[in-house]
Amino acid sequence: MVHLTEEDPNFSDPEDYIDDITDNELLDDVLRRKPKEIDGIDSVIVVDNVPIVEDDRLEKLRNVLTKKFAKIGNIVNQHYPMENGKTKGYIFVEYENREQATSAINEFNNYRLDKQHIFLVNHLSDLDKYASVPDEWEPPEPQPFKDTGNLYDFLMDKDCLDQFSVIYEAGRQTAVYWNSHGKPKLLEERFNWTETEIRWSPSGSYLATFHPKGVALWGGTNFKQIQKFPHEGVQLIDFSPCERYLSTYCPIAENKSKDEPQDIIIWDILTGKRRRGFLCDNATVWPVFKWSYDGRYFARIRDDLLQVYETPSFGLVDKKSIRIKGIRDFNWSPTDNIISYWTPEEENTPARVVLMEIPSKQQLCTKNLFTVADCKMYWQKSGDYLCVKVDRYKGRKIEGKEVKYSAIYHNLNVFRIREKQVPIDTVEVKENIKAFAWEPVGTKFSFIHGEAPRINVSFYNVKKAGSVELMKMFEKKSANLIFWSPQGQFVVLAGLKQMNGILEFIDTSDMTIMSQVEHFMATDVEWDPTGRYVTSSVSYWSHKVDNAFWIWNFQGKLLQKSPLDRFCQFFWRPRPKCLLSDKALKDIKKNMKKYHSKFKLIDIQREEQVSSEQIEKRKKAMQEWTNFCKQTEAKLQKDYQRRRDLRKGFDTDERSDDVEFEEETVEFLVKVEEIVLDEDDE
């Protein structure tokens, strides 16, 4: 018999306790945690179309396959089914975890072992999934059409005004404004519209908001909810350039153990359906997947593989990855299905920059580089040029078996993509390059180089004759970033954050500084889609005081200041690509004087309208003041007798001859000034 002491806890229920939980409720909870048959076998893969061999050649086959599959990860177990002294043509391979098994599938599915054997690799758990597919196909039920409205309604404004979005009050308020003449006009404002930030799609059709359960897209006239994508804990998103697909990223560890990968999910925006999920070791550089300009392909780097996927199948191009040993980085051309990538030096093999066409995988150009420390690739927005910034070692010294380098210098390699055999021009730079930027439409590029206090900004022009010419170098500038106008020609040199918000507006047609201004502690700069306006802002996320956004014209004239309580984020709404041909655009620019008079008249009418509105406002205020004076005078006359009675017949409203008033002047000291006179003045 056990005796309880005062220190021992008592787990007995009280006498009047009523258990109101049914056995069915408990059973549901237990069944939910019941182990499934596929639990623990996700790390097992099935490899089909393996050579059929007899017992005497089994060991040789095992050694060959083990050597290949062991490259992915540690093999826990292997099984080679036998029948009548021969293998059955498929094997089972077990890895330590699901991630290794998935990597093996990506690597060896459709792998050609020889002319007669091409592997087909799947998870063991997929066998049950495919076996449960019904023999007879049933057509899906048609879904009712969902009218999303006119997603390009914002382009129908008669004055062609642009929109912009702001987040303020530390993220609690989100608003969209028209950039109207004078003061911005509020279009939409909502409380807690997003949990963190917002993002516009590339053509401005959708506004994406973040929520604990996923991402929502809004659009149309009144920003109705168009679509929502459930991805709990989502932190980052990326649109395809065609606005057909959306990729979301969530780093939550629990997602890695699910049947379907949940780290990165690609969604179909029109249907809201999940197209494919991917595992992701880390997303230090976002986006992990980079899209081609037309949304037909997307790619990523994984180990020594360049994995290029195609849409709408979302499978690898040619069903296999591209093995590129040591690949470090890649980028898509903004206008063509061309990938640029680079690989570092290894032993006697030089570093290389390669241009490769997709889907043929044909190499269009290769540039060998030596003593390379790092490379950065910058595509011009028009896709005409690619600049590769190469950081190279200057001095080389061999100490024993180690090779040491003393210094680093830089050069810029400019690839002329549109010319035959892709010629390359080189620009040598002795100083450290801090920022680089192409003119979006044109042939110029600029970069910031040097160390404080001697920070210089150089502008170059790519000539047709096969040379790169220095246009101008501005010395001793307070700038750490370069912002080109979307239409080219004009550029803003910005010294953001620690450089106190110095802004310089430059016209690169004659390399003149139009304006030098300051927005103290500015954290962000953004051009509007037309290239007419520039916004500088101080975000609450970076700086806790003076939070506001200022709008300038392209010449650096301040148009308005908009302080907002704990302002966080400013984004212009993008515009889709212009539908006019290059010839039509050239004709418009050529005949600009003809349109100038028309737009000048509209501006005058608008100013007159503003003036008339201001005059009417002043008239209304004057009328209100006149009415107030009349009411006050009437009240004064009404209370006249009462005032006389209170003053015992003495009338203070008017002076009478028999009443004398004395005037008294009161003087008081305002300030003291001391003036020192020179001898000549004396």
Task: List pLDDT tens digits, range 542-590.
Answer: 989 999 999 999 999 999 999 999 999 999 999 998 888 888 888 888 8
Residue ranges per structural domain of the chain: 37-131, 433-586
Determine the residue type at 349: T
Give the whole-angstrom CA distance, residue 477 versus residue 493: 9
- Torsion sign, CA atoms 652, 656, 658, 662: positive
Which two tokens mark 210? 């973040």
Confidence of residue 218 (pLDDT cuts 50, 70, 90): very high
Distances in whole angstroms, Cα of residue 559 to Cα of each of 494, 505, 565, 601, 644: 18, 15, 20, 21, 58
Which two tokens mark 156? 């129908």
Predicted confidence (pLDDT) per residue in 259-293, tens digit: 578 889 999 999 899 999 988 877 778 899 999 99
Residue recorded with tokens 């080219």:
488
**Exposure of 121 by Cβ count < 10 A (0-12 exposed, 13-18 middle, 19+ buried)?**
buried
3-state secondary structure of 167: strand
For range 518-542, the mean pLDDT = 94
Superfamily of domain 433-586: YVTN repeat-like/Quinoprotein amine dehydrogenase (2.130.10.10)
Give the whole-angstrom CA distance, residue 450 versus residue 434: 8
Is the previous residue joined to 359 through a cis bond, with omega within 30 degrees of 0?
A: yes
Give the model's pLDDT for residue 642. Answer: 85
Give the model's pLDDT for residue 257. Answer: 44
The DSSP call for residue 112 is B
Per DSSP (E only), the strands in 240-318 are 245-249, 264-268, 274-278, 290-291, 297-302, 305-310, 315-316
For range 507-529, the mean pLDDT = 94
Residue 35 or 52, more confident: 52
Give the whole-angstrom CA distance, residue 581 versus residue 238: 29
Whether residue 255 is predicted with pLDDT greater than 50 in this model: the reply is: no
Give the model's pLDDT for residue 258. Answer: 47
**Residue among 272, 268, 310 nearest 291 (CA):** 310
Portion of the chain with pLDDT greater than 90, in percent: 51
Q: Give every strand in the sheet of 90-95, ordered side by side.
A: 75-79, 90-95, 44-48, 120-123
Give the model's pLDDT for residue 249. Answer: 93
Which two tokens mark 406? 């003393």
Whether residue 237 is predicted with pLDDT greater than 90 in this model: the reply is: yes
Residue 232 or 30, more confident: 232
Residue 438 or 31, more confident: 438
Which two tokens mark 288? 């992990």
Would you say 474 and 460 are in contact if contact means Cβ atoms under 8 Å apart? no
Give the model's pLDDT for residue 208. Answer: 96
For range 308-320, the mean pLDDT = 91
Would you say 487 and 531 are in contact if contact means Cβ atoms under 8 Å apart? yes
Give the model's pLDDT for residue 2. Answer: 46
Residue 600 or 117, more confident: 117
Between the ranges 51-65, 186-200, 607-621, where is the mean pLDDT highest? 186-200
pTM: 0.73
- Record: fold of 37-131: Alpha-Beta Plaits (3.30.70)
> How does the average pLDDT of the chain come out, rounded?
86
Least confident of 10-14, 232-236, 426-430: 10-14
Whether residue 26 is predicted with pLDDT greater than 70 in this model: the reply is: no
For range 369-390, the mean pLDDT = 93
Give the model's pLDDT for residue 285. Answer: 85
For range 39-46, the mean pLDDT = 79
Phi, psi (rounded to 5 degrees) for 25? -65, -40
Confidence of residue 657 (pLDDT cuts 50, 70, 90): low
Predicted confidence (pLDDT) per residue in 82-110, tens digit: 988 899 999 999 998 888 888 888 888 88
Give the whole-angstrom CA distance, residue 585 versus residue 545: 44
For range 125-147, the mean pLDDT = 82
Please list the alpha-helical segments (H only) found in 81-200: 98-108, 125-131
Half-sphere exposure of 123 (CA within 13 A, CB side): 20
Residue 148's Cα: distance from chain center in Å?
24
**Residue among 467, 468, 420 nearest 447 (CA):** 468
Which two tokens mark 170? 């530390």
Would you say 466 and 443 are in contact if contact means Cβ atoms under 8 Å apart? no
Give the whole-angstrom CA distance, residue 203 versus residue 398: 54
